[in-house]
Amino acid sequence: MSFKKHLIGLATLAILSPALANAASSWNGEAELGIVSTTGNTETSTFNLNTKLVNERDQWKHLFLFNTLHSNNKDSSTAERYVLVAKSDYKINDVSYAFGRFSYEDDRFSGFEYQATETLGYGRHIIQKSTLKFDVEGGPGIRQSKPDDGSNDNEGILYLSGNLKWDISQNAVFTEDFFTEIGEDITITKSVTGLKSQINGDLAMKVTFTAKHTSKVPALKKKVDTETAVSLVYSF
Protein backbone atom coordinates (compact mmCIF):
# COMPACT_ATOMS: atom_id res chain seq x y z
CA MET A 1 0.00 0.00 0.00
CA SER A 2 1.34 3.46 -0.92
CA PHE A 3 2.32 6.15 1.58
CA LYS A 4 -0.68 8.25 0.48
CA LYS A 5 -3.09 5.46 1.30
CA HIS A 6 -1.45 4.94 4.68
CA LEU A 7 -1.75 8.69 5.39
CA ILE A 8 -5.45 8.74 4.51
CA GLY A 9 -6.21 5.71 6.62
CA LEU A 10 -4.26 6.85 9.67
CA ALA A 11 -5.60 10.40 9.62
CA THR A 12 -9.18 9.27 9.17
CA LEU A 13 -8.88 6.70 11.95
CA ALA A 14 -7.31 9.23 14.32
CA ILE A 15 -10.08 11.74 13.80
CA LEU A 16 -13.04 9.38 13.80
CA SER A 17 -11.96 6.80 16.38
CA PRO A 18 -13.68 8.51 19.37
CA ALA A 19 -17.03 8.08 17.65
CA LEU A 20 -16.37 4.61 16.29
CA ALA A 21 -15.40 3.41 19.75
CA ASN A 22 -18.93 4.00 21.01
CA ALA A 23 -21.17 1.41 19.35
CA ALA A 24 -24.28 3.04 20.80
CA SER A 25 -23.62 6.36 19.10
CA SER A 26 -25.84 7.12 16.13
CA TRP A 27 -24.82 8.21 12.67
CA ASN A 28 -26.78 10.12 10.06
CA GLY A 29 -25.88 11.33 6.65
CA GLU A 30 -26.62 11.92 2.99
CA ALA A 31 -25.78 10.26 -0.32
CA GLU A 32 -25.88 12.33 -3.52
CA LEU A 33 -25.83 11.21 -7.12
CA GLY A 34 -25.80 13.90 -9.77
CA ILE A 35 -24.87 15.29 -13.15
CA VAL A 36 -22.09 17.87 -13.25
CA SER A 37 -21.11 20.48 -15.83
CA THR A 38 -17.51 21.68 -15.36
CA THR A 39 -15.25 24.45 -16.72
CA GLY A 40 -11.57 25.15 -16.21
CA ASN A 41 -9.10 22.26 -16.36
CA THR A 42 -11.93 19.84 -17.12
CA GLU A 43 -14.65 20.82 -19.58
CA THR A 44 -17.23 18.08 -19.78
CA SER A 45 -20.52 16.81 -18.41
CA THR A 46 -20.19 13.86 -16.08
CA PHE A 47 -21.47 12.11 -12.94
CA ASN A 48 -20.55 12.71 -9.33
CA LEU A 49 -21.17 10.90 -6.06
CA ASN A 50 -21.07 12.60 -2.64
CA THR A 51 -21.31 10.87 0.73
CA LYS A 52 -21.67 12.67 4.06
CA LEU A 53 -21.66 11.06 7.51
CA VAL A 54 -22.21 12.93 10.79
CA ASN A 55 -21.99 11.69 14.37
CA GLU A 56 -22.81 13.81 17.43
CA ARG A 57 -22.56 12.69 21.04
CA ASP A 58 -21.65 14.42 24.30
CA GLN A 59 -19.14 17.16 23.41
CA TRP A 60 -17.99 15.64 20.10
CA LYS A 61 -19.16 16.07 16.52
CA HIS A 62 -17.52 14.00 13.78
CA LEU A 63 -17.87 14.65 10.06
CA PHE A 64 -16.77 12.46 7.17
CA LEU A 65 -17.08 13.55 3.52
CA PHE A 66 -16.19 11.66 0.37
CA ASN A 67 -16.59 12.97 -3.18
CA THR A 68 -15.77 11.34 -6.47
CA LEU A 69 -16.20 12.68 -9.99
CA HIS A 70 -15.58 10.53 -13.05
CA SER A 71 -16.24 10.67 -16.78
CA ASN A 72 -15.05 8.82 -19.87
CA ASN A 73 -15.42 9.47 -23.54
CA LYS A 74 -14.87 6.77 -26.14
CA ASP A 75 -11.12 7.42 -26.19
CA SER A 76 -10.05 8.21 -22.63
CA SER A 77 -10.97 9.48 -19.21
CA THR A 78 -11.96 13.15 -19.28
CA ALA A 79 -12.50 13.76 -15.56
CA GLU A 80 -11.36 11.92 -12.47
CA ARG A 81 -11.24 13.30 -8.95
CA TYR A 82 -11.37 11.91 -5.42
CA VAL A 83 -11.77 14.09 -2.32
CA LEU A 84 -11.76 12.95 1.32
CA VAL A 85 -12.43 15.20 4.33
CA ALA A 86 -12.46 14.02 7.95
CA LYS A 87 -13.18 16.51 10.75
CA SER A 88 -13.84 16.43 14.50
CA ASP A 89 -15.23 19.26 16.66
CA TYR A 90 -14.93 19.38 20.46
CA LYS A 91 -17.51 21.58 22.18
CA ILE A 92 -15.97 24.14 24.53
CA ASN A 93 -19.24 25.90 25.38
CA ASP A 94 -22.53 26.74 23.68
CA VAL A 95 -20.92 29.07 21.13
CA SER A 96 -17.35 27.84 20.61
CA TYR A 97 -15.46 24.66 19.77
CA ALA A 98 -12.02 23.35 18.86
CA PHE A 99 -11.54 21.29 15.71
CA GLY A 100 -9.14 19.07 13.83
CA ARG A 101 -9.48 18.67 10.05
CA PHE A 102 -7.82 16.46 7.45
CA SER A 103 -8.39 16.74 3.71
CA TYR A 104 -6.99 14.88 0.73
CA GLU A 105 -7.64 15.59 -2.97
CA ASP A 106 -6.52 13.61 -5.99
CA ASP A 107 -7.59 15.42 -9.17
CA ARG A 108 -6.02 13.82 -12.25
CA PHE A 109 -6.61 16.93 -14.38
CA SER A 110 -5.45 19.64 -11.97
CA GLY A 111 -1.71 19.33 -12.59
CA PHE A 112 -1.20 17.94 -9.06
CA GLU A 113 -0.84 14.27 -8.23
CA TYR A 114 -2.38 15.08 -4.84
CA GLN A 115 -2.88 17.83 -2.26
CA ALA A 116 -3.39 17.12 1.45
CA THR A 117 -3.85 19.37 4.50
CA GLU A 118 -3.95 18.90 8.27
CA THR A 119 -5.41 21.72 10.39
CA LEU A 120 -6.11 22.43 14.06
CA GLY A 121 -8.17 25.45 15.08
CA TYR A 122 -11.04 27.25 16.77
CA GLY A 123 -14.64 27.65 15.62
CA ARG A 124 -17.54 29.80 16.76
CA HIS A 125 -21.31 29.69 16.21
CA ILE A 126 -22.06 33.27 15.18
CA ILE A 127 -25.80 32.72 14.55
CA GLN A 128 -27.80 29.90 16.13
CA LYS A 129 -31.45 30.40 15.21
CA SER A 130 -33.95 27.68 14.37
CA THR A 131 -33.95 28.63 10.67
CA LEU A 132 -30.54 30.30 10.32
CA LYS A 133 -27.10 29.09 11.37
CA PHE A 134 -23.68 30.60 10.63
CA ASP A 135 -20.30 29.30 11.83
CA VAL A 136 -16.76 30.56 11.30
CA GLU A 137 -13.49 28.68 11.83
CA GLY A 138 -9.79 29.36 11.66
CA GLY A 139 -6.44 27.89 12.54
CA PRO A 140 -2.92 26.95 11.42
CA GLY A 141 -2.14 23.89 9.35
CA ILE A 142 0.24 22.15 6.98
CA ARG A 143 -0.30 21.40 3.29
CA GLN A 144 1.50 18.80 1.18
CA SER A 145 1.32 19.20 -2.62
CA LYS A 146 2.82 16.99 -5.30
CA PRO A 147 2.72 18.45 -8.83
CA ASP A 148 2.74 16.09 -11.79
CA ASP A 149 6.40 16.96 -12.45
CA GLY A 150 7.33 14.80 -9.43
CA SER A 151 8.42 17.59 -7.07
CA ASN A 152 7.11 17.93 -3.51
CA ASP A 153 5.89 21.16 -1.93
CA ASN A 154 5.24 21.40 1.81
CA GLU A 155 4.17 24.65 3.48
CA GLY A 156 2.40 26.07 6.49
CA ILE A 157 -1.07 27.51 5.91
CA LEU A 158 -3.72 29.59 7.62
CA TYR A 159 -7.14 27.96 7.26
CA LEU A 160 -10.30 30.13 7.39
CA SER A 161 -13.88 29.02 6.70
CA GLY A 162 -17.50 30.07 6.97
CA ASN A 163 -20.61 27.88 6.83
CA LEU A 164 -24.14 29.21 6.38
CA LYS A 165 -27.38 27.22 6.53
CA TRP A 166 -30.74 28.94 5.96
CA ASP A 167 -34.06 27.10 6.09
CA ILE A 168 -35.97 29.17 3.56
CA SER A 169 -39.13 27.12 4.09
CA GLN A 170 -40.14 23.72 5.43
CA ASN A 171 -39.02 22.13 2.16
CA ALA A 172 -36.13 24.33 0.98
CA VAL A 173 -32.64 24.88 2.44
CA PHE A 174 -29.95 27.28 1.19
CA THR A 175 -26.30 26.61 2.10
CA GLU A 176 -23.02 28.43 1.54
CA ASP A 177 -19.72 26.77 2.47
CA PHE A 178 -16.53 28.78 1.98
CA PHE A 179 -12.91 28.17 2.91
CA THR A 180 -9.47 29.45 2.07
CA GLU A 181 -6.05 27.96 2.75
CA ILE A 182 -3.53 30.79 2.73
CA GLY A 183 0.05 29.68 2.16
CA GLU A 184 3.26 31.52 1.43
CA ASP A 185 3.50 29.83 -1.96
CA ILE A 186 -0.08 28.76 -2.84
CA THR A 187 -3.47 30.04 -1.68
CA ILE A 188 -6.53 27.89 -2.38
CA THR A 189 -10.05 29.31 -2.07
CA LYS A 190 -13.26 27.32 -2.55
CA SER A 191 -16.95 28.24 -2.40
CA VAL A 192 -19.89 25.82 -2.57
CA THR A 193 -23.37 27.35 -2.92
CA GLY A 194 -26.32 24.98 -2.67
CA LEU A 195 -30.12 24.91 -2.72
CA LYS A 196 -31.90 21.72 -1.59
CA SER A 197 -35.61 21.10 -2.03
CA GLN A 198 -37.37 18.19 -0.37
CA ILE A 199 -39.27 15.95 -2.80
CA ASN A 200 -40.76 13.26 -0.58
CA GLY A 201 -39.71 11.70 2.71
CA ASP A 202 -35.95 11.17 2.67
CA LEU A 203 -35.49 12.16 -0.99
CA ALA A 204 -34.54 15.66 -2.14
CA MET A 205 -33.29 17.55 -5.18
CA LYS A 206 -30.14 19.66 -4.83
CA VAL A 207 -28.48 22.23 -7.09
CA THR A 208 -24.93 23.36 -6.29
CA PHE A 209 -22.40 25.75 -7.79
CA THR A 210 -18.75 25.24 -6.82
CA ALA A 211 -15.88 27.59 -7.62
CA LYS A 212 -12.25 26.86 -6.71
CA HIS A 213 -9.31 29.23 -7.21
CA THR A 214 -5.68 28.13 -6.88
CA SER A 215 -3.24 31.04 -6.92
CA LYS A 216 -0.34 29.05 -8.41
CA VAL A 217 -0.81 26.10 -10.75
CA PRO A 218 1.44 24.00 -13.01
CA ALA A 219 2.08 25.22 -16.56
CA LEU A 220 -0.87 25.09 -18.99
CA LYS A 221 -3.37 24.65 -16.12
CA LYS A 222 -6.12 27.12 -15.23
CA LYS A 223 -6.36 28.79 -11.84
CA VAL A 224 -10.17 28.66 -11.62
CA ASP A 225 -12.37 25.57 -11.77
CA THR A 226 -16.16 25.65 -11.55
CA GLU A 227 -18.84 22.99 -11.28
CA THR A 228 -22.61 23.18 -11.59
CA ALA A 229 -24.36 20.04 -10.34
CA VAL A 230 -27.93 18.80 -10.10
CA SER A 231 -28.26 15.87 -7.71
CA LEU A 232 -30.73 13.56 -6.07
CA VAL A 233 -30.08 13.38 -2.32
CA TYR A 234 -31.06 10.51 -0.03
CA SER A 235 -30.94 11.23 3.71
CA PHE A 236 -30.53 8.47 6.29
d(CA 69, CA 49): 7
Q: What phi-psi label fits residue 18: left (phi over 0), alpha (psi between -120 and 50 degrees) or beta?
A: alpha
- Percent of the chain whose pLDDT exceeds 90: 64
Confidence of residue 18 (pLDDT cuts 50, 70, 90): low
Chain-centroid distance, C-alpha 108: 17
Mean pLDDT for the stretch of residues 169-190: 96
Domain 3-235 has CATH 2.40.160.40: yes
In this prediction, residue 137 carries a pLDDT of 98
In this prediction, residue 128 carries a pLDDT of 97
Higher per-residue confidence, 35 vs 165: 165
Q: Return the DSSP state at 8.
A: H
- Percent of the chain whose pLDDT exceeds 70: 83
pLDDT by residue (tens digit) across 92-102? 999 999 999 99
Decide: 114 and 108 in contact? Cβ < 8 Å.
no
Mean pLDDT for the stretch of residues 160-178: 97
Residue 129 pLDDT exceeds 90: yes
In this prediction, residue 109 carries a pLDDT of 78
Q: Where are the domains of the chain?
A: 3-235
Output the 3-class SS for 51-75. EEEEEEECCEEEEEEEEEEEEECCC
Confidence of residue 10 (pLDDT cuts 50, 70, 90): very low
In this prediction, residue 37 carries a pLDDT of 67
**The model's pTM:** 0.84
Mean pLDDT for the stretch of residues 151-164: 94
Residue 23 pLDDT exceeds 50: no
